[in-house]
Structure 1
Amino acid sequence: MYTRRNLLRGAAALAVLSTGMSGFGPALAKAPFQTFQAPGFYRLRLGRFEVTALSDGTVPLPLPELYTNTTSEHARSALAAAFQETPTQTSVNAFLVNAGDRLVLIDAGTGSYLGPTLGKLMGNLKAAGYQPDQIDDIILTHIHTDHSGGLSAEGDRLFRNATVRVNERELDFWLKTPVAERPASAPPQHFTEAHESLQPYLDAGRIETFADNGEVLPGIGSILRAGHTPGHSSIVIEDGGRKLVFWGDITHGDALQFDEPGVAIEFDVDQKKAVETRAVALDEAASERYMVAGAHIAFPGIGHVRRDETNYDWVPLNYSASAG
Protein backbone atom coordinates (compact mmCIF):
# COMPACT_ATOMS: atom_id res chain seq x y z
CA MET A 1 0.00 0.00 0.00
CA TYR A 2 1.19 3.48 -0.78
CA THR A 3 1.91 5.70 2.23
CA ARG A 4 3.03 9.30 2.32
CA ARG A 5 6.28 8.38 4.01
CA ASN A 6 7.59 5.71 1.64
CA LEU A 7 6.36 7.62 -1.41
CA LEU A 8 7.99 10.85 -0.37
CA ARG A 9 11.24 9.16 0.58
CA GLY A 10 11.37 7.60 -2.86
CA ALA A 11 10.51 10.88 -4.53
CA ALA A 12 13.19 12.72 -2.57
CA ALA A 13 15.80 10.13 -3.58
CA LEU A 14 14.77 10.51 -7.22
CA ALA A 15 15.09 14.28 -6.97
CA VAL A 16 18.59 14.03 -5.48
CA LEU A 17 19.64 11.52 -8.14
CA SER A 18 18.35 13.64 -10.99
CA THR A 19 20.12 16.71 -9.58
CA GLY A 20 23.40 14.85 -9.42
CA MET A 21 23.07 13.72 -13.03
CA SER A 22 22.16 17.13 -14.41
CA GLY A 23 25.67 18.09 -15.44
CA PHE A 24 27.75 16.06 -17.89
CA GLY A 25 30.88 18.16 -17.94
CA PRO A 26 32.52 21.36 -16.71
CA ALA A 27 30.28 24.41 -16.63
CA LEU A 28 30.84 26.70 -19.59
CA ALA A 29 28.38 29.41 -18.55
CA LYS A 30 29.48 32.89 -17.58
CA ALA A 31 28.18 32.20 -14.08
CA PRO A 32 27.23 28.94 -12.34
CA PHE A 33 23.61 27.85 -12.41
CA GLN A 34 21.70 28.69 -9.22
CA THR A 35 19.36 25.95 -8.05
CA PHE A 36 17.55 27.62 -5.15
CA GLN A 37 14.31 29.60 -5.14
CA ALA A 38 13.35 32.78 -3.32
CA PRO A 39 11.96 32.27 0.20
CA GLY A 40 8.52 30.70 -0.02
CA PHE A 41 6.07 33.14 1.51
CA TYR A 42 3.27 35.30 0.13
CA ARG A 43 1.10 37.84 1.96
CA LEU A 44 -2.35 39.29 1.48
CA ARG A 45 -4.85 41.25 3.57
CA LEU A 46 -8.38 40.15 4.26
CA GLY A 47 -10.14 42.80 6.28
CA ARG A 48 -8.52 42.94 9.70
CA PHE A 49 -6.51 39.78 9.01
CA GLU A 50 -3.12 39.50 7.37
CA VAL A 51 -2.54 36.07 5.83
CA THR A 52 0.90 34.75 4.94
CA ALA A 53 1.16 31.60 2.85
CA LEU A 54 4.22 29.57 3.85
CA SER A 55 5.77 26.87 1.70
CA ASP A 56 6.99 23.69 3.35
CA GLY A 57 8.44 22.71 -0.02
CA THR A 58 7.42 20.53 -2.93
CA VAL A 59 7.84 16.86 -3.69
CA PRO A 60 7.45 14.91 -6.95
CA LEU A 61 4.59 12.44 -6.51
CA PRO A 62 3.38 9.68 -8.87
CA LEU A 63 -0.16 11.07 -8.78
CA PRO A 64 -1.55 8.81 -11.55
CA GLU A 65 -0.73 5.78 -9.39
CA LEU A 66 -2.17 7.40 -6.27
CA TYR A 67 -5.51 8.56 -7.65
CA THR A 68 -8.36 6.06 -7.37
CA ASN A 69 -11.74 5.73 -9.11
CA THR A 70 -9.84 6.26 -12.36
CA THR A 71 -7.03 4.65 -14.32
CA SER A 72 -3.39 5.68 -14.15
CA GLU A 73 -3.41 6.14 -17.92
CA HIS A 74 -6.34 8.55 -17.80
CA ALA A 75 -4.88 10.46 -14.85
CA ARG A 76 -1.52 10.76 -16.60
CA SER A 77 -3.23 12.09 -19.73
CA ALA A 78 -5.32 14.59 -17.76
CA LEU A 79 -2.25 15.90 -15.94
CA ALA A 80 -0.33 16.18 -19.22
CA ALA A 81 -3.22 18.20 -20.68
CA ALA A 82 -2.68 20.63 -17.80
CA PHE A 83 1.08 20.75 -18.59
CA GLN A 84 1.94 18.74 -15.48
CA GLU A 85 4.53 16.00 -15.72
CA THR A 86 4.58 12.69 -13.88
CA PRO A 87 5.92 12.57 -11.20
CA THR A 88 4.15 15.83 -10.43
CA GLN A 89 5.70 18.51 -8.26
CA THR A 90 3.22 18.76 -5.40
CA SER A 91 3.18 21.62 -2.91
CA VAL A 92 2.84 21.36 0.85
CA ASN A 93 1.51 24.69 2.13
CA ALA A 94 0.76 26.15 5.54
CA PHE A 95 -0.71 29.54 6.37
CA LEU A 96 -0.09 32.14 9.07
CA VAL A 97 -2.97 34.38 10.13
CA ASN A 98 -2.13 37.60 11.94
CA ALA A 99 -5.33 38.52 13.76
CA GLY A 100 -3.82 41.61 15.37
CA ASP A 101 -3.89 40.26 18.90
CA ARG A 102 -2.46 36.83 18.08
CA LEU A 103 -0.52 34.86 15.47
CA VAL A 104 -2.24 31.69 14.31
CA LEU A 105 -0.50 29.05 12.19
CA ILE A 106 -2.75 26.78 10.15
CA ASP A 107 -0.95 23.44 9.74
CA ALA A 108 2.70 22.90 10.60
CA GLY A 109 4.36 21.19 7.65
CA THR A 110 6.31 17.94 7.58
CA GLY A 111 9.32 18.63 9.78
CA SER A 112 12.04 16.06 9.11
CA TYR A 113 9.73 13.15 8.31
CA LEU A 114 9.29 13.27 4.56
CA GLY A 115 12.60 14.07 2.94
CA PRO A 116 14.91 16.98 2.11
CA THR A 117 12.68 18.71 -0.45
CA LEU A 118 10.13 19.32 2.31
CA GLY A 119 10.47 20.60 5.88
CA LYS A 120 11.04 24.20 4.76
CA LEU A 121 8.27 25.81 6.81
CA MET A 122 10.42 26.99 9.71
CA GLY A 123 12.92 28.69 7.43
CA ASN A 124 10.18 30.37 5.44
CA LEU A 125 8.40 31.45 8.62
CA LYS A 126 11.57 33.23 9.70
CA ALA A 127 12.14 34.67 6.23
CA ALA A 128 8.62 36.11 6.42
CA GLY A 129 9.60 38.02 9.56
CA TYR A 130 8.40 35.77 12.37
CA GLN A 131 9.95 33.54 15.02
CA PRO A 132 8.40 30.25 16.19
CA ASP A 133 8.10 31.52 19.77
CA GLN A 134 5.77 34.26 18.52
CA ILE A 135 3.12 31.78 17.41
CA ASP A 136 0.17 31.73 19.83
CA ASP A 137 -1.94 28.99 18.26
CA ILE A 138 -1.55 26.21 15.69
CA ILE A 139 -4.77 24.96 14.11
CA LEU A 140 -4.49 21.60 12.38
CA THR A 141 -6.86 20.87 9.51
CA HIS A 142 -6.02 17.23 10.28
CA ILE A 143 -3.20 15.14 11.73
CA HIS A 144 -1.54 13.54 8.69
CA THR A 145 2.23 13.86 9.01
CA ASP A 146 2.56 16.50 6.29
CA HIS A 147 0.38 18.78 8.43
CA SER A 148 1.60 17.93 11.93
CA GLY A 149 5.15 16.61 11.49
CA GLY A 150 6.66 20.07 11.92
CA LEU A 151 5.25 20.52 15.43
CA SER A 152 8.03 18.72 17.27
CA ALA A 153 11.53 17.35 16.88
CA GLU A 154 13.15 14.65 19.02
CA GLY A 155 10.41 14.95 21.59
CA ASP A 156 10.59 18.72 21.96
CA ARG A 157 7.99 21.31 21.02
CA LEU A 158 9.25 23.60 18.26
CA PHE A 159 6.59 26.23 19.01
CA ARG A 160 7.16 26.77 22.72
CA ASN A 161 4.34 29.24 23.33
CA ALA A 162 1.71 27.77 21.03
CA THR A 163 -1.45 25.86 21.82
CA VAL A 164 -2.37 23.23 19.22
CA ARG A 165 -6.05 23.21 18.28
CA VAL A 166 -7.63 20.30 16.43
CA ASN A 167 -11.06 18.78 15.87
CA GLU A 168 -11.96 16.49 18.77
CA ARG A 169 -12.82 13.45 16.67
CA GLU A 170 -9.58 13.88 14.70
CA LEU A 171 -7.47 13.84 17.87
CA ASP A 172 -9.37 10.85 19.24
CA PHE A 173 -8.93 8.87 16.01
CA TRP A 174 -5.17 9.28 15.81
CA LEU A 175 -4.32 9.06 19.51
CA LYS A 176 -7.00 6.80 20.99
CA THR A 177 -8.03 4.23 18.36
CA PRO A 178 -7.00 0.75 19.57
CA VAL A 179 -4.64 -1.04 17.22
CA ALA A 180 -7.20 -3.74 16.44
CA GLU A 181 -9.75 -1.11 15.35
CA ARG A 182 -7.53 0.95 13.06
CA PRO A 183 -8.64 0.87 9.41
CA ALA A 184 -6.27 -0.51 6.81
CA SER A 185 -6.52 2.80 4.96
CA ALA A 186 -4.62 4.49 7.81
CA PRO A 187 -1.09 3.03 7.89
CA PRO A 188 0.42 2.23 11.33
CA GLN A 189 3.25 4.70 10.82
CA HIS A 190 0.73 7.57 10.62
CA PHE A 191 -0.44 6.74 14.13
CA THR A 192 3.17 6.53 15.35
CA GLU A 193 4.07 9.86 13.80
CA ALA A 194 0.92 11.48 15.18
CA HIS A 195 1.95 10.45 18.69
CA GLU A 196 5.51 11.68 18.17
CA SER A 197 4.37 15.07 16.89
CA LEU A 198 1.55 15.73 19.37
CA GLN A 199 2.66 14.06 22.60
CA PRO A 200 5.02 16.90 23.65
CA TYR A 201 2.08 19.33 23.45
CA LEU A 202 -0.19 16.94 25.34
CA ASP A 203 2.43 16.60 28.06
CA ALA A 204 2.65 20.38 28.33
CA GLY A 205 -1.13 20.83 28.43
CA ARG A 206 -0.95 22.64 25.11
CA ILE A 207 -3.66 20.90 23.09
CA GLU A 208 -7.27 22.07 22.88
CA THR A 209 -10.01 20.48 20.78
CA PHE A 210 -12.90 22.09 18.95
CA ALA A 211 -16.29 20.64 18.04
CA ASP A 212 -17.57 19.81 14.57
CA ASN A 213 -18.32 23.08 12.74
CA GLY A 214 -17.34 24.93 15.91
CA GLU A 215 -15.51 28.14 16.64
CA VAL A 216 -11.80 27.53 17.01
CA LEU A 217 -10.80 30.99 18.24
CA PRO A 218 -12.66 34.30 18.29
CA GLY A 219 -13.28 35.20 14.64
CA ILE A 220 -11.96 31.86 13.35
CA GLY A 221 -14.40 29.07 12.58
CA SER A 222 -14.32 25.53 11.25
CA ILE A 223 -16.26 23.33 8.81
CA LEU A 224 -16.16 19.57 9.31
CA ARG A 225 -15.03 18.12 5.96
CA ALA A 226 -14.65 14.48 6.99
CA GLY A 227 -13.47 11.73 4.66
CA HIS A 228 -9.83 12.41 4.01
CA THR A 229 -9.54 11.80 7.74
CA PRO A 230 -12.37 11.42 10.29
CA GLY A 231 -12.08 14.93 11.70
CA HIS A 232 -10.62 16.73 8.68
CA SER A 233 -11.77 20.35 9.01
CA SER A 234 -11.54 23.46 6.89
CA ILE A 235 -10.78 26.68 8.75
CA VAL A 236 -12.65 29.92 8.05
CA ILE A 237 -11.90 33.61 8.48
CA GLU A 238 -14.16 36.41 7.30
CA ASP A 239 -14.02 40.18 7.58
CA GLY A 240 -14.85 43.27 5.56
CA GLY A 241 -17.18 41.36 3.27
CA ARG A 242 -14.45 38.88 2.28
CA LYS A 243 -14.09 35.23 3.23
CA LEU A 244 -11.20 32.78 3.04
CA VAL A 245 -11.57 29.07 3.68
CA PHE A 246 -8.40 27.10 4.39
CA TRP A 247 -9.35 23.84 2.72
CA GLY A 248 -6.80 21.41 4.06
CA ASP A 249 -6.77 18.38 1.74
CA ILE A 250 -9.99 18.83 -0.20
CA THR A 251 -7.90 18.28 -3.34
CA HIS A 252 -4.44 16.96 -4.10
CA GLY A 253 -3.30 19.12 -6.99
CA ASP A 254 -5.17 21.73 -9.00
CA ALA A 255 -6.20 19.84 -12.13
CA LEU A 256 -7.79 16.39 -12.13
CA GLN A 257 -9.99 16.56 -9.04
CA PHE A 258 -11.53 19.85 -10.15
CA ASP A 259 -12.60 18.34 -13.47
CA GLU A 260 -13.42 14.95 -11.92
CA PRO A 261 -14.39 15.38 -8.25
CA GLY A 262 -15.19 11.67 -8.04
CA VAL A 263 -11.49 10.83 -8.21
CA ALA A 264 -10.15 9.97 -4.76
CA ILE A 265 -6.57 9.35 -3.58
CA GLU A 266 -4.83 6.57 -1.67
CA PHE A 267 -4.28 8.87 1.30
CA ASP A 268 -8.02 9.20 2.02
CA VAL A 269 -9.01 7.25 5.12
CA ASP A 270 -12.58 7.02 3.76
CA GLN A 271 -12.47 7.50 -0.01
CA LYS A 272 -16.23 7.43 -0.52
CA LYS A 273 -16.81 10.08 2.12
CA ALA A 274 -13.89 12.19 0.80
CA VAL A 275 -15.53 12.25 -2.66
CA GLU A 276 -18.84 13.35 -1.15
CA THR A 277 -17.11 16.04 0.89
CA ARG A 278 -15.19 17.38 -2.12
CA ALA A 279 -18.42 17.73 -4.11
CA VAL A 280 -19.92 19.85 -1.34
CA ALA A 281 -16.77 21.96 -0.89
CA LEU A 282 -16.38 22.68 -4.60
CA ASP A 283 -20.03 23.57 -5.04
CA GLU A 284 -19.99 25.89 -2.04
CA ALA A 285 -16.78 27.65 -3.05
CA ALA A 286 -18.03 28.24 -6.60
CA SER A 287 -21.50 29.35 -5.47
CA GLU A 288 -20.36 31.70 -2.72
CA ARG A 289 -17.30 32.92 -4.67
CA TYR A 290 -15.07 33.07 -1.61
CA MET A 291 -11.32 32.51 -1.69
CA VAL A 292 -9.88 29.16 -0.73
CA ALA A 293 -6.40 28.12 0.34
CA GLY A 294 -5.33 24.55 -0.43
CA ALA A 295 -2.57 22.62 1.28
CA HIS A 296 -1.59 20.75 -1.91
CA ILE A 297 -2.34 23.29 -4.62
CA ALA A 298 0.64 24.95 -6.33
CA PHE A 299 2.12 27.51 -3.92
CA PRO A 300 0.85 29.86 -2.60
CA GLY A 301 -2.26 27.74 -3.02
CA ILE A 302 -4.76 30.61 -2.76
CA GLY A 303 -7.44 31.31 -5.33
CA HIS A 304 -11.05 30.77 -6.38
CA VAL A 305 -13.14 27.94 -7.75
CA ARG A 306 -15.35 28.56 -10.77
CA ARG A 307 -17.67 26.33 -12.74
CA ASP A 308 -16.79 25.42 -16.32
CA GLU A 309 -17.80 22.91 -18.97
CA THR A 310 -15.96 20.12 -17.12
CA ASN A 311 -17.33 20.73 -13.61
CA TYR A 312 -14.87 23.17 -12.00
CA ASP A 313 -11.70 25.12 -12.62
CA TRP A 314 -9.03 26.43 -10.26
CA VAL A 315 -8.27 30.15 -10.64
CA PRO A 316 -5.09 31.19 -8.80
CA LEU A 317 -5.03 34.46 -6.94
CA ASN A 318 -3.71 37.27 -9.12
CA TYR A 319 -0.21 38.11 -7.88
CA SER A 320 0.23 41.45 -6.14
CA ALA A 321 3.48 43.07 -5.04
CA SER A 322 1.57 44.72 -2.19
CA ALA A 323 0.26 42.83 0.82
CA GLY A 324 -2.42 45.45 1.37
Structure 2
Amino acid sequence: MNPAHDPDRRREIAHVGPIELYTPVLEKSRDFFVAQMGLREVHRDDTSVYLHTWDDYQSWTVRLIQRDAAGIGRTYLRAASPEAMRRLAEAVGGTKVVTDVHNLGEVHLFTDPDGHEMGVYWDVAWYAPDDTDRPALKNQAAAYPGRGANLRRLDHVNYLTADVPTTSAFLRDTLGARCTEQIVKDDGSPQAIWYSVGNKTYDLVYTEDWTGTSGRLHHIAFATDTREEILRAADVCLDAGVHIETGPHKHSIQQTFFLYVWEPGGNRIELCNAGARLILAPDWKTISWTREERAKGQAWGLKTIETFHTHGTPVVP
Protein backbone atom coordinates (compact mmCIF):
# COMPACT_ATOMS: atom_id res chain seq x y z
CA MET A 1 0.00 0.00 0.00
CA ASN A 2 1.11 3.56 -0.73
CA PRO A 3 2.42 4.84 2.65
CA ALA A 4 0.45 8.06 2.34
CA HIS A 5 -2.79 6.04 2.09
CA ASP A 6 -2.02 3.71 4.98
CA PRO A 7 -4.93 4.11 7.45
CA ASP A 8 -2.61 3.13 10.31
CA ARG A 9 -0.19 5.95 9.58
CA ARG A 10 -0.16 8.76 12.15
CA ARG A 11 -1.51 12.12 10.91
CA GLU A 12 1.04 14.71 12.05
CA ILE A 13 -0.39 17.89 10.46
CA ALA A 14 -3.71 19.32 11.64
CA HIS A 15 -4.19 21.90 8.88
CA VAL A 16 -2.54 24.65 6.85
CA GLY A 17 -2.13 27.68 9.08
CA PRO A 18 -1.47 31.32 8.22
CA ILE A 19 0.57 32.32 5.18
CA GLU A 20 2.76 35.19 4.04
CA LEU A 21 2.23 36.92 0.72
CA TYR A 22 4.70 39.33 -0.90
CA THR A 23 3.44 42.43 -2.70
CA PRO A 24 5.15 45.50 -4.20
CA VAL A 25 2.08 47.65 -3.40
CA LEU A 26 1.36 46.89 0.24
CA GLU A 27 -1.44 49.37 0.91
CA LYS A 28 -3.24 48.63 -2.37
CA SER A 29 -3.10 44.91 -1.63
CA ARG A 30 -4.32 45.56 1.89
CA ASP A 31 -7.27 47.60 0.59
CA PHE A 32 -8.19 44.85 -1.89
CA PHE A 33 -8.35 42.20 0.82
CA VAL A 34 -10.28 44.42 3.22
CA ALA A 35 -12.72 46.16 0.86
CA GLN A 36 -13.33 43.54 -1.85
CA MET A 37 -12.55 40.29 -0.03
CA GLY A 38 -13.96 41.15 3.41
CA LEU A 39 -10.90 40.50 5.58
CA ARG A 40 -10.06 42.57 8.65
CA GLU A 41 -6.75 44.27 9.44
CA VAL A 42 -5.65 43.10 12.89
CA HIS A 43 -1.99 44.12 13.18
CA ARG A 44 0.80 45.85 11.29
CA ASP A 45 4.49 46.67 11.54
CA ASP A 46 6.90 48.72 9.44
CA THR A 47 6.83 46.42 6.41
CA SER A 48 3.72 44.25 6.72
CA VAL A 49 -0.01 44.07 7.43
CA TYR A 50 -1.77 41.14 9.14
CA LEU A 51 -5.29 40.22 8.01
CA HIS A 52 -7.95 37.90 9.44
CA THR A 53 -10.74 35.95 7.74
CA TRP A 54 -13.90 36.07 9.81
CA ASP A 55 -14.09 32.41 10.87
CA ASP A 56 -10.39 31.65 11.36
CA TYR A 57 -9.93 30.60 15.00
CA GLN A 58 -6.31 31.82 14.83
CA SER A 59 -5.41 35.46 15.36
CA TRP A 60 -4.35 36.11 11.75
CA THR A 61 -4.73 34.45 8.37
CA VAL A 62 -2.52 36.34 5.90
CA ARG A 63 0.52 38.54 6.40
CA LEU A 64 1.09 40.91 3.49
CA ILE A 65 4.77 41.85 3.24
CA GLN A 66 6.23 44.73 1.23
CA ARG A 67 8.69 43.35 -1.33
CA ASP A 68 9.95 44.42 -4.74
CA ALA A 69 8.18 41.47 -6.38
CA ALA A 70 5.00 39.53 -5.66
CA GLY A 71 5.10 35.91 -4.52
CA ILE A 72 4.64 33.53 -1.63
CA GLY A 73 6.47 33.83 1.68
CA ARG A 74 6.24 31.27 4.44
CA THR A 75 3.43 28.76 4.74
CA TYR A 76 2.79 27.75 8.34
CA LEU A 77 1.48 24.27 9.15
CA ARG A 78 -0.12 23.58 12.51
CA ALA A 79 0.96 20.25 13.93
CA ALA A 80 -1.58 17.84 15.36
CA SER A 81 0.10 18.00 18.79
CA PRO A 82 3.32 19.17 20.46
CA GLU A 83 4.72 15.69 19.97
CA ALA A 84 3.73 15.74 16.31
CA MET A 85 5.58 19.03 15.88
CA ARG A 86 8.75 17.49 17.23
CA ARG A 87 8.37 14.42 15.01
CA LEU A 88 7.77 16.59 11.94
CA ALA A 89 10.80 18.76 12.76
CA GLU A 90 12.91 15.63 12.97
CA ALA A 91 11.43 14.21 9.73
CA VAL A 92 12.16 17.29 7.62
CA GLY A 93 15.67 17.59 9.11
CA GLY A 94 17.83 20.65 9.65
CA THR A 95 15.10 22.98 10.84
CA LYS A 96 15.74 26.48 12.11
CA VAL A 97 13.73 27.33 15.23
CA VAL A 98 12.32 30.86 15.50
CA THR A 99 10.14 32.41 18.19
CA ASP A 100 9.46 35.85 16.69
CA VAL A 101 6.48 35.05 14.45
CA HIS A 102 3.51 37.20 15.45
CA ASN A 103 1.16 35.30 17.79
CA LEU A 104 2.74 31.92 17.05
CA GLY A 105 4.92 30.05 19.49
CA GLU A 106 8.01 28.08 18.58
CA VAL A 107 8.20 27.57 14.80
CA HIS A 108 10.42 25.03 13.08
CA LEU A 109 11.34 26.39 9.63
CA PHE A 110 12.20 24.22 6.63
CA THR A 111 11.85 24.28 2.85
CA ASP A 112 10.14 21.93 0.45
CA PRO A 113 12.27 20.44 -2.36
CA ASP A 114 11.46 23.43 -4.57
CA GLY A 115 12.61 26.00 -2.04
CA HIS A 116 9.28 27.24 -0.67
CA GLU A 117 9.75 28.08 2.99
CA MET A 118 7.42 26.46 5.51
CA GLY A 119 7.11 26.38 9.27
CA VAL A 120 5.61 23.86 11.69
CA TYR A 121 4.10 25.17 14.93
CA TRP A 122 1.82 24.14 17.77
CA ASP A 123 1.29 27.10 20.12
CA VAL A 124 -0.93 29.80 18.65
CA ALA A 125 -2.93 32.78 19.90
CA TRP A 126 -6.65 32.44 19.18
CA TYR A 127 -8.58 35.32 17.66
CA ALA A 128 -10.18 37.63 20.23
CA PRO A 129 -13.02 39.72 18.74
CA ASP A 130 -13.78 43.15 20.14
CA ASP A 131 -17.05 45.07 20.28
CA THR A 132 -16.86 45.88 16.57
CA ASP A 133 -16.81 42.27 15.36
CA ARG A 134 -18.08 40.15 18.24
CA PRO A 135 -20.26 37.32 16.87
CA ALA A 136 -23.74 36.57 18.15
CA LEU A 137 -22.82 32.89 18.39
CA LYS A 138 -19.82 32.11 20.56
CA ASN A 139 -18.79 29.12 18.44
CA GLN A 140 -17.82 31.52 15.60
CA ALA A 141 -14.50 33.35 15.54
CA ALA A 142 -15.87 36.77 14.54
CA ALA A 143 -19.00 38.40 13.19
CA TYR A 144 -19.87 37.89 9.53
CA PRO A 145 -18.40 40.98 7.78
CA GLY A 146 -21.18 41.48 5.25
CA ARG A 147 -18.97 43.15 2.62
CA GLY A 148 -17.35 42.06 -0.58
CA ALA A 149 -16.65 38.35 -0.92
CA ASN A 150 -16.94 37.65 2.84
CA LEU A 151 -14.07 35.16 2.72
CA ARG A 152 -14.51 32.67 5.54
CA ARG A 153 -11.11 30.99 5.72
CA LEU A 154 -7.94 30.14 3.86
CA ASP A 155 -8.58 27.01 1.84
CA HIS A 156 -5.38 25.96 0.07
CA VAL A 157 -2.11 27.07 -1.53
CA ASN A 158 -1.12 26.15 -5.08
CA TYR A 159 2.64 26.39 -5.64
CA LEU A 160 4.64 26.14 -8.83
CA THR A 161 7.51 23.66 -8.78
CA ALA A 162 10.28 22.72 -11.17
CA ASP A 163 10.17 19.05 -10.08
CA VAL A 164 6.71 17.61 -9.40
CA PRO A 165 7.79 13.97 -8.73
CA THR A 166 10.36 14.95 -6.09
CA THR A 167 7.93 17.32 -4.40
CA SER A 168 5.22 14.66 -4.47
CA ALA A 169 7.49 12.17 -2.74
CA PHE A 170 8.33 14.75 -0.05
CA LEU A 171 4.67 15.48 0.68
CA ARG A 172 3.87 11.77 0.82
CA ASP A 173 6.87 10.32 2.61
CA THR A 174 7.98 13.19 4.88
CA LEU A 175 4.84 15.21 5.63
CA GLY A 176 2.45 12.25 5.49
CA ALA A 177 -0.04 13.98 3.18
CA ARG A 178 -2.38 12.07 0.86
CA CYS A 179 -2.52 12.62 -2.90
CA THR A 180 -6.23 12.77 -3.71
CA GLU A 181 -5.99 13.73 -7.40
CA GLN A 182 -3.28 14.38 -9.97
CA ILE A 183 -2.65 15.27 -13.61
CA VAL A 184 -0.32 12.80 -15.31
CA LYS A 185 1.79 13.13 -18.44
CA ASP A 186 1.81 10.58 -21.25
CA ASP A 187 4.59 8.66 -19.49
CA GLY A 188 2.53 8.45 -16.28
CA SER A 189 4.63 10.91 -14.28
CA PRO A 190 2.76 13.61 -12.33
CA GLN A 191 2.43 17.10 -13.78
CA ALA A 192 0.22 18.54 -11.03
CA ILE A 193 -0.69 17.11 -7.62
CA TRP A 194 -3.40 17.79 -5.04
CA TYR A 195 -2.47 16.71 -1.50
CA SER A 196 -4.63 16.57 1.61
CA VAL A 197 -3.34 16.83 5.18
CA GLY A 198 -6.73 16.28 6.85
CA ASN A 199 -10.17 15.31 5.57
CA LYS A 200 -10.57 18.15 3.06
CA THR A 201 -10.04 17.06 -0.51
CA TYR A 202 -6.87 19.13 -0.80
CA ASP A 203 -4.69 21.63 1.07
CA LEU A 204 -1.31 21.77 -0.72
CA VAL A 205 -1.20 21.78 -4.52
CA TYR A 206 1.86 21.80 -6.78
CA THR A 207 1.85 22.46 -10.51
CA GLU A 208 4.77 22.08 -12.88
CA ASP A 209 6.44 25.43 -13.56
CA TRP A 210 6.83 25.72 -17.33
CA THR A 211 9.78 28.10 -16.85
CA GLY A 212 11.74 25.61 -14.76
CA THR A 213 12.03 28.22 -12.02
CA SER A 214 11.87 27.25 -8.33
CA GLY A 215 9.96 28.80 -5.44
CA ARG A 216 7.12 30.52 -7.29
CA LEU A 217 3.40 30.79 -6.53
CA HIS A 218 0.45 29.84 -8.72
CA HIS A 219 -2.30 31.04 -6.37
CA ILE A 220 -3.71 31.11 -2.86
CA ALA A 221 -7.35 30.20 -2.35
CA PHE A 222 -10.00 31.27 0.13
CA ALA A 223 -13.34 29.64 0.87
CA THR A 224 -16.71 31.32 0.89
CA ASP A 225 -19.90 29.90 2.34
CA THR A 226 -21.83 29.71 -0.92
CA ARG A 227 -21.53 29.88 -4.68
CA GLU A 228 -23.69 33.00 -4.58
CA GLU A 229 -20.99 34.87 -2.66
CA ILE A 230 -18.53 34.04 -5.42
CA LEU A 231 -20.97 35.36 -8.03
CA ARG A 232 -21.42 38.54 -6.01
CA ALA A 233 -17.63 38.83 -5.64
CA ALA A 234 -17.30 38.83 -9.43
CA ASP A 235 -19.54 41.91 -9.58
CA VAL A 236 -17.69 43.52 -6.66
CA CYS A 237 -14.35 43.00 -8.43
CA LEU A 238 -15.79 44.25 -11.72
CA ASP A 239 -16.93 47.51 -10.13
CA ALA A 240 -13.59 47.93 -8.31
CA GLY A 241 -11.52 47.42 -11.46
CA VAL A 242 -9.94 44.21 -10.16
CA HIS A 243 -8.58 41.97 -12.93
CA ILE A 244 -10.85 38.92 -13.29
CA GLU A 245 -8.79 36.20 -14.94
CA THR A 246 -11.36 33.40 -15.32
CA GLY A 247 -14.61 32.14 -13.88
CA PRO A 248 -16.99 31.91 -12.17
CA HIS A 249 -17.09 28.28 -13.24
CA LYS A 250 -16.54 24.73 -11.96
CA HIS A 251 -13.35 22.70 -12.09
CA SER A 252 -13.46 19.09 -13.19
CA ILE A 253 -10.61 18.26 -10.83
CA GLN A 254 -11.89 18.36 -7.24
CA GLN A 255 -15.24 19.80 -8.51
CA THR A 256 -14.41 23.22 -7.05
CA PHE A 257 -16.62 26.19 -7.97
CA PHE A 258 -14.13 29.00 -8.63
CA LEU A 259 -13.30 32.59 -9.48
CA TYR A 260 -9.74 33.72 -10.17
CA VAL A 261 -8.67 37.36 -9.79
CA TRP A 262 -5.33 39.13 -9.52
CA GLU A 263 -4.82 41.29 -6.46
CA PRO A 264 -3.06 44.66 -7.03
CA GLY A 265 0.38 43.19 -6.29
CA GLY A 266 -0.01 40.66 -9.10
CA ASN A 267 -0.68 37.51 -7.06
CA ARG A 268 -3.45 35.23 -8.31
CA ILE A 269 -6.27 34.76 -5.78
CA GLU A 270 -8.90 32.05 -6.03
CA LEU A 271 -12.31 32.21 -4.41
CA CYS A 272 -13.76 28.74 -4.00
CA ASN A 273 -16.88 27.27 -2.50
CA ALA A 274 -16.66 26.22 1.15
CA GLY A 275 -18.75 23.14 0.43
CA ALA A 276 -15.72 21.34 -0.96
CA ARG A 277 -15.84 17.58 -0.92
CA LEU A 278 -14.47 15.63 2.02
CA ILE A 279 -12.24 12.59 1.82
CA LEU A 280 -13.79 10.26 4.37
CA ALA A 281 -12.37 6.99 2.98
CA PRO A 282 -9.24 6.08 4.97
CA ASP A 283 -7.98 4.14 1.93
CA TRP A 284 -8.80 6.74 -0.73
CA LYS A 285 -7.31 5.93 -4.13
CA THR A 286 -5.69 8.75 -6.10
CA ILE A 287 -7.71 9.95 -9.11
CA SER A 288 -5.52 10.55 -12.18
CA TRP A 289 -6.43 12.85 -15.08
CA THR A 290 -4.81 12.47 -18.51
CA ARG A 291 -3.91 15.11 -21.08
CA GLU A 292 -6.89 14.09 -23.21
CA GLU A 293 -9.27 14.48 -20.29
CA ARG A 294 -7.85 17.89 -19.41
CA ALA A 295 -8.19 19.04 -23.03
CA LYS A 296 -11.98 18.87 -22.63
CA GLY A 297 -11.77 21.97 -20.42
CA GLN A 298 -13.48 22.60 -17.11
CA ALA A 299 -16.53 20.73 -15.84
CA TRP A 300 -19.08 22.72 -17.86
CA GLY A 301 -16.92 23.13 -20.94
CA LEU A 302 -15.04 26.38 -20.24
CA LYS A 303 -11.60 26.22 -21.84
CA THR A 304 -8.69 27.01 -19.52
CA ILE A 305 -7.38 30.51 -20.21
CA GLU A 306 -3.76 30.71 -21.43
CA THR A 307 -2.55 32.90 -18.55
CA PHE A 308 -3.58 30.18 -16.11
CA HIS A 309 -0.64 28.16 -17.44
CA THR A 310 1.83 31.03 -17.86
CA HIS A 311 1.28 33.51 -15.00
CA GLY A 312 2.97 32.97 -11.65
CA THR A 313 4.64 35.15 -9.03
CA PRO A 314 7.25 36.43 -8.96
CA VAL A 315 6.83 37.02 -12.69
CA VAL A 316 9.53 35.46 -14.88
CA PRO A 317 10.19 37.34 -18.16
1 or 2, which has the higher strand percentage?
Answer: 2
Q: Which has the higher contact order (CA 8 A, sep 6+)?
A: 2
TM-score, normalization by structure 2:
0.29
TM-score, normalization by structure 1:
0.29
1 or 2, which has the higher helix percentage?
Answer: 1
